[in-house]
Every structure is written in structure tokens, then in C-alpha cells.
Amino acid sequence: MLLTEAKPVGEVLNLIGADKSVFLLGCGGCPVGAQTGGEEKLAGLKAELEKAGKKVTGSMVVDFLCNKALVGSRFFAPARAAQLREASRVAVVSCGVGVQSAAAILGKPVVPALNTISTNAVQGLWPSEERCGQCGDCMLGMTGGVCPITTCSKSLVNGTCGGTNKGKCEVSPEKDCGWLMIYKRLKALGRTDDLRKMNAPRDHSKSDIPDRLRKSVHWALEYSKAEEPPKQATA
Amino acid sequence: MSRLQEKLSRGEFTVTGEIGPPKGTNIDPVIHEAGEYLKGSVTAVNVTDIQTAVMRASSLVGCVKLKEKGIEPVLQMVCRDRNRLALQSDLLSAAILGIENVLSITGDHVVAGDHKGAMPVYDLDSVGLLQAMAKLESGTDMGLDNKGAPNALDGSPKFFKGCVVTPCAEDVEPQVIKLAKKAEAGAQFVQTQAVYDPKAFEKFINLVKQYKIKIPILVGIVMLKNAGMANYMNNFVPGVQVPKEITKRLKETDKKEVPKVSAQICGQLIRDMKGMCQGAHLMTLGWDRYVPDIVAAAGL
Ligand code: SF4
Ligand code: SF4
């Protein structure tokens, strides 16, 4: 299971920026277990966004958002597709992998509502091209939904290095350059301005698991009795 | 203020050179050569920082040795090998040693070098390193004390902060966007990756203007040692394309004459691009003795 924590609502609103309309997409897998996602949390976020003057065009929980085929099929229904079309942004309540798969197939700028933190090992995940490095400070809202931590060989946070060559990374002609992927995605979305934003050096302490979670069932079943739901961060 | 900064701020076309410290302790030959051939021809000399991830003596020691010879150094700093604690510490050390010109570089990945199993650090990227320099200049470091306030420094440094760019990359816009961020982070000059195609450079310069980047640019000139090196660069060095005519000319040149011809090629490139930039950065890869020839061929 991948472990997640809610981003402060203020940060989610910042990422949405001036855009008025948002579609809410949630994962019914790991975030439910981590008590950061699912119908109830989505309803909570919807209320917060509406309070801040945003229009929520629709809201949906998909089992295993990390499975792209599953996500795509859920938007076949015309009513859903219309809700998605109407939204300028998709706020995604899932781990970094789910946000990336949504970004990869929905053709909309995404906003991550959660931070993915380290479990120091993962059991039982649906493999797909997208990977999450569990950095604890999700940047997908500024990178077109492509993770720079896992796609860039140097995990750079401010754009491409000089080693990018014909779309490939300097470490191997077999490896795509992550920042070129980000550039191309943002270009397709008409949002290359996002590349101009300055990103602060990473705070590596954020990827560490907090003590309260280390003593809970989210870390190990041995702690089932000591379970304590993660405190909801507020803006 | 460093001589490099002074000259560039006066708007003078400025030439810099570059040396690499040795793999081993025998540093005298390279410093001697710099004294013989670079001192009178260039304004400042870069010292590479564990270039291409091949282990060698530090940039810092090379800079100190150059200073002892009366040559102004440019300290290159890559983000690959040190975290933000070590980088800031070395920046303070450089300032204490009287080094003012500092160049921020991401740094080639360790797989390019001769210690492929080493831990690649990249705690800061090249933008973050420039921010760190600016922070130290302002009298604090990147950390926070227990109350969450910035840590005050006991004496703060003053740098002339540089950065690099690959102007002839296939996708040049992301390079220019990152350059704009470097300028915003405090970069005061740019030295570029090798350029052999003035037309591609012109395209880059136009984009630089479009992005309103105003810092002086020193175009990168790398001496070609033979036609084989040109082919190698085309195949393996990202964002570097040597035009066929240049490769052909080197191929047809008598071996003994190659350095002279190569220096002429460099000189011609500088002449062609002089009007578009504020200086040239010469990378001779050990052929320091031909730097005076390049400068002469460029008509400087
Ligand atoms: S930026 Fe990447 S590594 Fe960090 S949480 Fe998002 S997807 Fe995961
Ligand atoms: S070439 Fe691209 S993926 Fe590779 S290290 Fe540089 S920016 Fe990252």
C-alpha cells in the first residue's frame, strides 16, 4: 500500500490558481486505507473548494486509479465526459501514481490533493509506467502531471539539465528525459508558463514517515491496536 | 569586484579559459601551463569540478594555485557530489580564500564517469545552488534555527555568480526557460556549452531576448583535436553539432597542422558570433598553448 497525507487545502487552492472549475477524481484503493481518500474525503474537499468559490463540475471515485485502463473507461459515459470537459483542472485525491495516470490520459492539468510519503517498501501495487518516489511534497501540479522525482535521473526540480539529447536522458539512450516529457506535456496543455515557476530545493525530511504513522497499522499490522488516524492538515 | 565582473560590466568583449585539476597530486604542470599561455590571453580561468564525474583533485585547490600565479580563477561547482551543507561550506571557504567568480552547474551523472557506483547527490539543482549563493551573500544560510529563523553568518561572502546553458540543444526552449530561472535566482553571467553553428546560436540568442534575459553571455568554444573528436561530439555530447565542413577541413589537414587549423576554426567562430554575445569561453582540453593563437585569430 502507498501511504498518503492530505495537502493543506490552501496549497490545493494555490495550485488551482485562478481557474474556476474543477473536477474531483479520487482513488478507491490505498487512499481509503490510509484514510486520506474515498467518497467521504472527496465530499469534504468538494465543500472546501466550493467555499473558496470554485465550481466543482463533478466528482468520482475510481477503484485503483493507478490502472489507466480503468480510469479511461469510467469517462466513456457522456455525462461524465461533459463534466470533465467543463473543468479547467482535475484535482486528484490519490497517491502520486494515480495523479500521474490521470494526467496521462485525461488531457487536463492536474492538481495533486495528497502528498505521497515513504513506506520504505511497497507490497501489492498495480505496475504501470508512472512511478512515484514518495517524496512527501507532491509537485505534479506544476509539472503537467509527470513526476520529476522519478522520471529525471537527477530528480531535478527546476527543469532540464544540459544532458538531454533528442528527448533522451544523458544516462542512457534508452531512457526518456523526464524534463523533456514535462516540457512536452505542458506545451500540449498550453501551460509552459508553469516551467517558469521557481521551485525551492526539496525538503528531504518530508519523505520521512512521521512517528505517529510509524506506530500505526499503516506501517505494520503489529500495531493494529495502536492505530491512530492521521491528523488532517489544515490550511 | 572581480576583474571578470569589471570587464563584463564595462561592456568589453571578455575571454575566459579553462583548466582541469589532475587525477593525482601532480598539479604543477597544469598550473605552469596556465601561467605560460593563459595568463596574458584571458581575463579569468575556470577550474573544472570533477568534470564528467571522473575523480580528480578539487576545483578549489586549482583556484588557489591559479591565484598564487596571479591568474583570476572561476570556481566551478557541480551539484552531483555534495549536499547543501557541503556546498554552502565550500562557498564560504572559497570566499575566505579570496575567490569571487563561482559557476553553478548541475553536473554530469555519475554513470558518465569512472565511479559508476557512486551516490549521485543533486540535493540542490543549479537554480538552488545559485539561490544558496545569493542567500549567503545576504548574510544567512539556507537553514533555520530552532525558532524557525534564518541562521545569521559571521561575515558574509560576495560572489560573481555564473551559470551555464546548452544553446544548440535540439529542444532549445526548455534550456532558455531554465536559463531565465537561473537569472532570476541571481546568475550574473553565462558560459555556454560548445557552439560550432553560429546560425543555431543566433536562434538561441533571439529566444534569450524574447525571454528578456539580460545577463552577459560568453559563447563556449571547444578546440577540436581531430575529425574523430568532431564525430564523437556529434554522436555522444548532448546539444553539440559540428557542421560537416569543419569535420572535413580537419580530416584533410596534415596532422602536424591540425592545432593551427583548429585554432583558426575557433577564431573564425568567435568572429562570427562576436556581435551576438559579450565574450567567449575557451575550452582547449589541455591544448592551452594554442590559446594565444585563438585570441589572435579572433582578432581580439
Ligand atoms: S512529485 Fe513524484 S515522487 Fe513526489 S509525491 Fe508526486 S508523484 Fe510522488
Ligand atoms: S537529461 Fe533529463 S532526465 Fe536526464 S538528468 Fe537531465 S533533465 Fe533529468
Cβ of residue A225 closer than 8 Å to a chain B Cβ: no
Minimum CA distance residue for ligand 2 atom 4: A169
Whether residue A30 is contained in a domain is answered as yes
- Residue A222 vs residue A201, higher pLDDT: A201
pLDDT score of A235? 43
Tens-digit pLDDT profile for residues B234-247: 988 888 999 999 99
Whether residue A185 is contained in a domain is answered as no
For the entire predicted model, the pTM comes to: 0.90
pLDDT score of B197? 96
Tens-digit pLDDT profile for residues B82-112: 999 999 999 999 999 999 999 999 999 999 9
Minimum CA distance residue for ligand 2 atom 2: A177
Whether residue A182 is contained in a domain is answered as no
Tens-digit pLDDT profile for residues B193-250: 999 999 999 999 999 999 999 999 999 999 999 999 999 999 888 889 999 999 999 9
Give the residue from A217, A212, A210, A180 showing the smallest Cα distance to A195: A180
Distance, in Å, from the CA atom of B279 to the CA atom of B283, rounded to the nearest integer, reads: 13
Cβ of residue A170 closer than 8 Å to a chain B Cβ: yes
Tens-digit pLDDT profile for residues A7-59: 999 999 999 999 999 999 999 998 998 899 999 999 999 999 999 999 999 99
Number of domains in chain A: 1
Whole-number Cα distances in Å, A104 to A67, A188, B130, B290: 11, 12, 33, 52
- Residue B154 vs residue A132, higher pLDDT: B154
Cell reading at A172: 542512457
The domains of chain B, with CATH numbers, are 3-293 (3.20.20.220)
Write the ipTM: 0.93
Cβ of residue B172 closer than 8 Å to a chain A Cβ: no
Whether residue A223 is contained in a domain is answered as no
Cell reading at B234: 556529434
Minimum CA distance residue for ligand 1 atom 1: A138
Question: What average pLDDT does the segment B7-17 reach?
Answer: 98
Give the 3-state DSSP-derived string for chain A, with helices as H, strands as E and coil as C.
Answer: CCEEEECCHHHHHHHHCCCCEEEEEEECCHHHHCCCCCHHHHHHHHHHHHHCCCEEEEEEEECCCCCHHHHHHCCCCHHHHHHHHHCCEEEEECCHHHHHHHHHHHCCCEEECEEEECCCCCCCCCCCCCCCCCCCCCCHHHCCCCCHHHHCCCCCCCCCCCCCECCEECCEEEEECHHHHHHHHHHHCCCCHHHHCCCCCCCHHHHCCCHHHHCCCCCCHHHHHHCCCCCCCCC
pLDDT score of A2? 82
Whether residue A38 is contained in a domain is answered as yes
pLDDT of A127 higher than 70: no
pLDDT of A4 higher than 50: yes
- Distance from residue A152's CA to the centre of ligand 1 (Å): 12
Q: Which domain does A133 fall in, by range?
A: 3-145+201-218
CATH code of residue A26? 3.40.50
Nearest Cβ partner for B109 among A163, A165, A166: A163
Whether residue A189 is contained in a domain is answered as no
CA distance B290 to chain A (A): 27
Whether residue A45 is contained in a domain is answered as yes
Q: What angle do CA A119, A122, A125 make, to 5 degrees?
A: 135
pLDDT score of A121? 61
Distance, in Å, from the CA atom of A72 to the CA atom of A81, rounded to the nearest integer, reads: 10
Whether residue A99 is contained in a domain is answered as yes
The string over B120-138, giving b where at least 16 C-beta atoms fall within 10 Å of a residue's C-beta and e elsewhere, is: bbbbbbbbbbbbbbebbbe
**Would you say the CB of residue A132 lies under 6 angstroms from ligand 1?**
yes
CA distance A157 to chain B (A): 7
